[in-house]
Chain A
Amino acid sequence: MKTGRDESARGEPTQRARATERPSETGLAATRQAGALSVAGRLAGFFAITLCLTWLWDDGGGRIAYGRFLKTVAPPLYDLIGFDGARVGAFRQRYVNFVPFVGLLLVTPGLTRRRRILGLLIGLFALFCGHLGLNLTEVGRGRARHLPLVPSLISDTLPFVVWIFVAAPALVRRLLPDSGAGAEAGSVPASERGSRAESESRSAERTQPR
């Protein structure tokens, strides 16, 4: 049974709490502005990262180096899995699909440093496996050699799919807030997120899974 004094004692802080929950219009506008700036910053970051990586790939010798690496590594792997003598199309431009994956993963908010680094390594390995698989789908001979539509589509989608897989905790919490699936290791919980300007490394250290 509650006394009147208890009621009033509880009521006041509750009202105060409600008042703080309901931000003023200026506060809302400021939050929206900060959010828009954050999105713009991340977009700019994505374009800067992908431009640099594409330049490294195209003009910086990345494509040639990766082609040589594939020429060395792919034949024994193909032999190992039973595709003896499969042709290695080592210098395809389609292998540039690692660029959007790296760009997306680096600008995704709310990921711990550990998940970002591990995700980058696992994702790049998955894309490398995708390149090995894509090679095997080539049809035709000589100048008529080409990649069919479906494997090309899957190859183009793979960076997106791998990104979804790696960044899932943060994405689920952001896009499906009611699912509750985002509250897991690898994501920075909303309760522990400070201002958007706060460095992610500090957030990551605070929320490292134990």
Chain B
Amino acid sequence: MSPSDGSAPSSRPGWVDRLGHPQVRYPLLVLLYLLIVGGLASLLLDPLRPALETLEVFTAKSVAGFMSLFTDRMRTHADLVTYDGFSVSIILECVGVLEMLIYSACVLAFPASARARALGIPLGCLAIFAFNVLRIATLLVVGRHWHAAFDFFHLYFWQATLIAMIVGVLYAWIRLCVRR
């Protein structure tokens, strides 16, 4: 008679227990929240179009404002930002909204207090916006002084730094807000 035939519980965790483990629960929750916030965002994309266009212009002005600290060769016109004759147009994918949505899903899925989350989402989105301004400014400098490398860095700053930015801000949030 094997020990499992009696009342002794089996030592192998069931699939419900496995789902409750942070290793599985957190990634699944991130995907779930991403579906929710992404679904809401795609529903609101058209009604919010004017606000998003304003955000594009604001991002262009922020990049110009930041770079004006170092150079006087900056100009902006609507969503177009120009550094010494080299121009880039700021579109929706460039303003950091997608990164903010992903970051928000990561924060919502993390086991933290409502206060930490309420603080983390706006502050983290601000940090992502600041990183994004830095990213566009770097691209402008690369495009102006090293034009051949622009496409490469445009690709590099898209996926690799997207994840680095989210992981960095999330880590800072956990260290500063959650663990205190």
Give chain A's interface residues, CB within 8 Å of chain B: 46-47, 50-51, 54-55, 57-59, 93-94, 96-97, 99-101, 103-104, 148-150, 152-154, 156-157, 159-162, 164-165, 168-169, 172, 175-176, 179, 181
Contacts and interface: CB of A to CB of B under 8 A. Distances in A.
13 contacts: A50-B156, A54-B152, A58-B152, A100-B159, A103-B160, A150-B38, A154-B38, A156-B102, A157-B102, A164-B26, A165-B23, A172-B22, A179-B22
Given A150-B42, A160-B167, A176-B22, A93 B155 contact: yes
B45 interface: yes
A138 to B, nearest CB: 15
A104 B101 CA distance: 20
B174 interface: yes
Contacts of B167: 104, 160
B51 interface: no
B111 A176 contact: yes
A51 B156 contact: yes
Interface residues of B, number: 36
Given A150-B35, A168-B22, A175-B171, 20 more contacts: A50-B164, A51-B160, A54-B160, A55-B152, A99-B159, A100-B159, A100-B160, A103-B160, A104-B167, A148-B42, A149-B38, A149-B45, A150-B38, A156-B159, A157-B31, A157-B34, A159-B163, A160-B166, A162-B27, A165-B27
B180 interface: no
Contact of B39 (A47, A150, A165): A150
B119 interface: no
Contacts of B152: 54-55, 58-59
Contacts of B160: 47, 50-51, 54, 99-100, 103
Interface of B: 21-24, 26-27, 30-31, 34-35, 38-39, 41-42, 45, 98, 101-102, 105-106, 111, 151-152, 155-156, 158-160, 162-164, 166-167, 171, 174, 179
Nearest to B111: A176
Query: By DSSP majority rule, is chain B's interface helix, strand, loop, or mixed?
Result: helix
Nearest to A175: B174
A157 B38 CA distance: 12
Contacts of A104: 163, 167
Query: By DSSP majority rule, is chain A's interface helix, strand, loop, or mixed?
Result: helix
A176 B23 CA distance: 12
B159 A157 contact: no
Contacts of B24: 165
Interchain residue pairs A-B with the least CB separation, the first 9: A168-B23, A100-B163, A50-B160, A150-B38, A149-B42, A161-B27, A153-B38, A54-B156, A165-B27
Contacts of A100: 159-160, 162-164
Contacts of B171: 175
A164 B30 CA distance: 10
A59 B151 CA distance: 10
A156 B105 CA distance: 13
Nearest to B28: A161
A103 B35 CA distance: 26
Contacts of A154: 31, 34-35, 38
